């Protein structure tokens, strides 16, 4: 089969141990990001199977209709919101998704960002390399408030680490988040306003859905303290367009640490956050860890092989098989 893997712009897929699972197939890995549907359609037009890398590549109906040979999309991870599954089903294209997800790597990276931002570790390292000795006076974590907006699997891990540092954990979110927070003994915010007003560190840990897109507004961010740190390792689209940049420019919150952007990859330093001294940015690398990659891609590749042998598994649209 011709198997296409788009948007491997970090050139990592072929280095994985599980890549050997596809031996004997015609695997075409595209490392440069496509800049239009036309370009992406040309890259993928011969593909019988596509393995997307998480949600990097969007598959709207317009693109799916340009892929005449496509029979199967094997998604890495669980999310399929970037795929028009209805269009796939209409074309008889089976879509399989992952059943595993590791929350640990994102939680670890989130805490790396928090500590690096509050301690100004990048700045101190740069000063030492220039021959200077830092005089940065950083805030401590003990006794301060850690806000968690969305206490799911990842948010729960971040909250537990904050508690270990002696922070006061304050949670807001949907009913499931509040139930988990109560069970863990965390404080429940009276509402969104209190969460934004009182958090010294606020971690945004929501899933991106039609309901949560743009949920964090400029008015929310304006409630934060000038000394507060806003952290987003979830999805950039959870924040209203331009709201975080404007908030940092106005000084509320005083700082941000982010790992996600509206359009990725961000190349040439072409993002306003990268030009701000009060923003710490990493290249959507929170989930990029070898064990996680092996987990996600290993399952996606195994789903491909099962489909090729007429034994499809983990389908999100089994009705496509009858078309």
In order of their start, the domains of the chain are 2-101+289-322 (3.40.50.720), 104-281 (3.40.50.720)
Which of 72, 180, 235, 271 is catalytic? The answer is: 235
Strand partners, 94: 72
Residue 99's pLDDT band, with cuts at 50, 70 and 90, is: confident
Q: 164-173, pLDDT tens digit by residue? A: 999 999 999 9
Question: Rounded CA gap, 12 and 298, in Å?
Answer: 13
Question: Rounded CA gap, 15 and 136, in Å?
Answer: 40
Which of 65, 108, 264, 294 is catalytic? The answer is: 264
Q: 192-251, pLDDT tens digit by residue? A: 999 999 999 999 999 999 999 999 999 999 999 999 999 999 999 999 999 999 999 999
Task: Give me the pLDDT at residue 68, please.
Answer: 97
- What 3-state DSSP class applies to 250? helix
DSSP 147-208: EEES-SHHHHHHHHHHHHTT-EEEEESSHHHHHHHHHHT-EE-SSHHHHHHH-SEEEE-PPP
Percentage of the chain exceeding pLDDT 90: 93
Question: Rounded CA gap, 84 and 60, in Å?
Answer: 5
Confirm whether pTM is higher than 0.85. Answer: yes
Clarify whether 62 is annotated catalytic.
no
In angstroms, how far is the first alpha carbon of the chain from the final one? 20
Clarify whether 264 is annotated catalytic.
yes
Neighbours of 8 (CB within 10 A): 17
Q: 104-158, pLDDT tens digit by residue? A: 999 999 999 999 999 999 999 999 999 999 888 999 999 999 999 999 999 999 9
With a CB cutoff of 8 Å and minimum separation 6, the contacts of 157 are: 103, 104, 107
């Amino acid at each position: 089969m011709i198997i296409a893997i788009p948007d491997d712009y970090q050139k990592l897929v072929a280095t994985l141990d599980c890549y050997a699972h596809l031996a004997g197939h015609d695997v075409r890995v595209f490392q440069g990001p496509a800049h239009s549907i036309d370009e992406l359609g040309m890259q993928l037009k011969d593909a019988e199977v596509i393995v997307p890398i998480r949600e990097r590549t969007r598959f709207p109906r317009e693109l799916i209709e340009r892929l005449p040979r496509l029979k199967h999309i094997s998604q890495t991870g669980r999310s399929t919101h970037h795929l028009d599954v209805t269009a796939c089903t209409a074309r008889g294209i089976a879509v399989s998704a992952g059943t595993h997800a590791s929350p640990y790597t994102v939680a670890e990276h989130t805490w790396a960002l928090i500590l690096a931002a509050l301690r100004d570790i990048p700045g101190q390292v740069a000063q030492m390399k220039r021959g200077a000795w830092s005089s940065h006076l950083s805030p401590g974590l003990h006794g301060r408030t850690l806000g968690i907006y969305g206490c799911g699997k990842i948010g729960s891990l971040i909250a537990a680490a904050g508690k270990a540092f002696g922070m006061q954990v304050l949670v807001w979110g949907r009913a499931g988040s509040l139930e988990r927070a109560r069970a863990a003994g965390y404080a429940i915010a009276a509402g969104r306003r209190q969460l934004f007003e009182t958090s010294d560190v606020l971690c945004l840990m929501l899933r991106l859905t039609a309901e949560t897109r743009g949920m964090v507004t400029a008015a929310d961010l304006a409630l934060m303290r000038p000394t507060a740190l806003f952290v987003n390792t979830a999805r950039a689209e959870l924040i209203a367009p331009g709201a975080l940049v404007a908030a940092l420019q106005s000084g509320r919150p005083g700082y941000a640490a982010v790992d996600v952007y509206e359009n990725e990859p961000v190349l040439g330093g072409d993002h306003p956050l990268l030009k701000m001294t009060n923003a710490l940015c990493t290249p959507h690398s929170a989930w990029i860890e070898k064990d996680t990659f092996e987990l996600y891609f290993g399952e996606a590749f195994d789903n491909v092989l099962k489909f090729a042998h007429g034994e499809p598994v983990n389908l999100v649209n089994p009705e496509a098989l009858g078309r």
